[in-house]
Amino acid sequence: MMGVEPFEAFGDLDEISERLASPDPSVRRLAVIDLVETSSGEAIPLLVRAAGDPAAEVRLQAARALGEFDGVDVAKALIGALVDSDAAVAQEAAGSLAEIRDSRASAVLLPLVAHSSAFVRAAILRALKALQVSESLGPAVAALGDGDAAVRVQAVGVIGYLKQVETLPSLIHATRDASADVRLAAINALSFARNDAAAQAAASALSDREWQVRAAAAETIGRIGHASAVNPLIASLQDGYWQVRQKALQNLGKLRARAAVGAIIPFLADALPSLRKDAAAALGDIADAEARDALATRVHDEDPDVRKTAIWALAQIGARN
Confidence of residue 158 (pLDDT cuts 50, 70, 90): very high
**CATH number of domain containing 60:** 1.25.10.10
Question: Do the domain assignments include residue 77?
Answer: yes
Q: Which residues contact 298 (CB under 8 A, 6 or more apart)?
A: 268, 276, 280, 306, 307, 310
**Residue 68 is part of which domain span?**
1-81
CB atoms under 10 Å from CB of 189, counted, come to 24
- Nearest CA-CA partner of 81 in 104, 112, 107, 106: 112
What would the pLDDT profile of 255-295 be if each residue is shown by its tens digit? 999 999 999 999 999 999 999 999 999 999 999 999 999 99
Give the confidence band of 11 by pLDDT, cuts at 50, 70, 90. Answer: low
Assigned domain for 218 exists: no
In a domain, 49, yes or no: yes
Contacts of 269 (CB under 8 A, 6+ apart): 276
Q: What is the pLDDT of residue 3?
A: 34
Instruction: Tell me the mean pLDDT in the region 192-196.
Output: 88
Q: How many domains does the chain have?
A: 1
**Measured between alpha carbons, how far apart are the two ends of the chain, in Å?**
54
Measured in whole angstroms, the distance separating CA 291 from the mean position of its chain's CA atoms is 36
In a domain, 24, yes or no: yes
The mean predicted confidence, pLDDT, of the chain is 94
Decide if 63 is inside a domain: yes
Residue 317 lies in a domain: no
Give the list of residues 6+ apart from residue 184 with CB closer than 8 angstroms, or none: 210, 212, 213, 216
Task: Decide if pLDDT at 10 tops 50.
Answer: no
Reported in sequence order, the residue ranges of the chain that DSSP labels E, i.e. its strands, are none
The 10 Å CB-count burial string (b at 16+, else e) for 249-282 is: bbbbbbbebeebbebbbebbebeeeebbbbbbbb
Q: Which pLDDT tens digit goes with each residue over 293-307?
A: 999 999 999 999 999
Domain-located, residue 34:
yes
CA 44, CA 33: separation in Å to the nearest integer? Answer: 12
Q: Please list, in sequence order, all residues whose beta carbon lies within 8 angstroms of the beta carbon of residue 63, skipping any fewer than 6 positions away.
A: 51, 78, 81, 84, 89, 92, 93, 96
- What is the longest distance spanned by two Cα atoms in the chain? 78
Answer yes or no: are the C-beta atoms of 160 and 188 closer than 8 Å: yes
Task: For residue 281, give the DSSP letter.
Answer: H
Return the pLDDT at 202. Answer: 97
In a domain, 73, yes or no: yes
Q: What is the DSSP string of 108-126?
A: HHGGGGG-S-HHHHHHHHH
The pLDDT of 237-253, averaged and rounded, is 98
Q: Which of 235, 225, 233, 161 is nearest to 198 (CA)?
A: 225
Helix (H/G/I), strand (E/B), else coil: 231: helix
Q: What is the Cα–Cα distance from 198 to 172, expressed in whole angstroms? A: 7
pLDDT confidence tier of residue 2, bands split at 50, 70 and 90: very low
